[in-house]
Amino acid sequence: MKLYTLIASLLFSLGIFAQEQPNTSDAKVWTLEECIAYALAHNITIQQANINKQLTEVALMESKSSRLPSLSGTASQNLTNGNTIDPITSDFVSQQINSTTLSLNTSVTLFQGNQINNQIKQSQLLVDQYQLYAQESQNNITLNITEAYIQLLYAKGAIKIAENNVSTSQKEEERAKALFDAGSIAIRDYTDAKSQTATNNYNLIAAKNTYDLQLLSLKQLLELSSSDSFAIVDGVEYLPENVPELQEIYAEAVAILPEINASKTNVLVSEKALDIAKGGYLPTLSLTGSLGSGYTSTQALNFTDQFDGNFNQRVGLSLNVPIFNKNKTKAAVQEAQLNIDNAALQLAQEEKDLYVKVETAWKNTIATQSQLNAAYIARNAAKESYRLAQKQYELGALSTTDLIFSQNTYTNTEQNYIQAKYLNLLYHQLLQFYQGNQISI
């Protein structure tokens, strides 16, 4: 009786909580495909990945612009008093000078150890790499939503099992009361039936709470508010499919997954960094030019005549030959070579990690498929045993304790079945993903 009182009090407190939960009976029903599409359009992580890709595109534009000439204009107005050199005539004078100078200057790099071309190629590789990172982000969100959605399906299935148990145990409690009132069973059998009803109600509330928590996790992935109306499909019909060979799945995953291709691209980026560093050993050749004019108060001509007369043009070549820069170029080359080696190791590690993921998913798919077949047989057998136990109980040939034991056995097999079903569905979808197939249920 103490156990029954404890369960009843817990049910009362949890019942208040359950009544406060929003009603989702009229909520829009989201399929897995709709959830994935919505997340790809609204998820913050994906938006950040797209911004990072756009930043590399800006860097590429900047690299290409390095080929263009620079152009700048200068203007100065000076008042000088005393012994000085006239900035326009270059004469040494000892008087107050009011001078104005204007100029346009340009410069273009003709050769810089091929560093500009290599920088452009590296920037393009970075754009490609961050495009792959954006795809990887989309894939991660897709997998997270798939897992959350299937877990929600399992939680919803657990609610149905709990609801059926409550309905059945209530009928059995009513039958036990009638038998007790008729003097056919002892009070202990009746209280056992009553306690089982309370326990099943407790399990139902716990199942609903688990569903609410899983629903909240899915909403967060979708960037939806917890108050948004939301519901999923009631369940899915699922039959296990043949599992491809492990090496076949891995070969397809290596060829298409963006994280692997991003690591391969990272090796190419590091190689271009080495070419850029080696360019520091070579000379730089630049073409320069300028247009200018000016006015000085030391000349008798007016402002306009002086600007016409002092107009000048200049063009020149500038060659910068590196001789010794404190081993900076040598260190840059060595660092770039080490980065290549490190990028190659990262690629090898990515491929190794991917093989572990694929193999784990492959083995789990096979294992859960076998578990699903066994759980299906166990559930059907337990269901039939429970049906026979109910008949025996109605005839008075079975105690309430034995009936409750049979019901619990059947409940456990039902839960094992839906768990194996949705786990196998999850791992099967994971294998579909590794093969480049669209996830859908």
Q: What does the mean pLDDT of the chain come to?
A: 89
- For the ranges 18-22, 146-150, 336-340, 357-361, the lowest mean pLDDT is seen at 18-22
Over range 267-279, report the average pLDDT. 97
Q: Are 156 and 211 spatial neighbours (Cβ–Cβ below 8 Å)?
A: yes
Report pLDDT digits (tens) over 51-67. Answer: 999 999 999 999 999 99
Report pLDDT digits (tens) over 334-358. Answer: 999 999 999 999 999 999 999 999 9
Whole-number pLDDT of residue 16: 37
Report pLDDT digits (tens) over 209-256. Answer: 999 999 999 999 999 988 888 889 887 877 777 899 999 999 999 999
Q: Are 340 and 267 spatial neighbours (Cβ–Cβ below 8 Å)?
A: yes
Report pLDDT digits (tens) over 375-416. Answer: 999 999 999 999 999 999 888 888 888 999 999 999 999 999
User: Measured at the alpha carbon of residue 295, what is the angle toward residues 290 and 298, in degrees to the nearest 5?
Assistant: 135
Domains and CATH numbers, the chain: 2-68+113-282+322-434 (1.20.1600.10), 69-112+284-321 (2.20.200)
DSSP state of 237: -
Whole-number pLDDT of residue 297: 85
Question: Which tokens in the block code for residue 105?
Answer: 């200057």
**How would you class 94 by CB atoms within 10 Å of its CB: exposed for 0-12, middle for 13-18, buried for 19 or more?**
exposed
Q: Closest by alpha carbon to 136, among 52, 248, 247, 224? A: 52
Report pLDDT digits (tens) over 40-97. Answer: 999 999 999 999 999 999 999 999 999 999 999 999 998 888 788 887 777 888 888 8
pLDDT exceeds 50 at position 140:
yes
Query: What single string gives the DSSP state of each residue in 196-219?
Result: HHHHHHHHHHHHHHHHHHHHHHHH
Whole-number pLDDT of residue 26: 63
Greater model confidence, 424 or 7: 424
Whole-number pLDDT of residue 234: 84
pTM to 2 decimals? 0.82
Q: Give kind and range of the element (H or E) at residue 318.
A: strand 312-320
Whole-number pLDDT of residue 25: 52
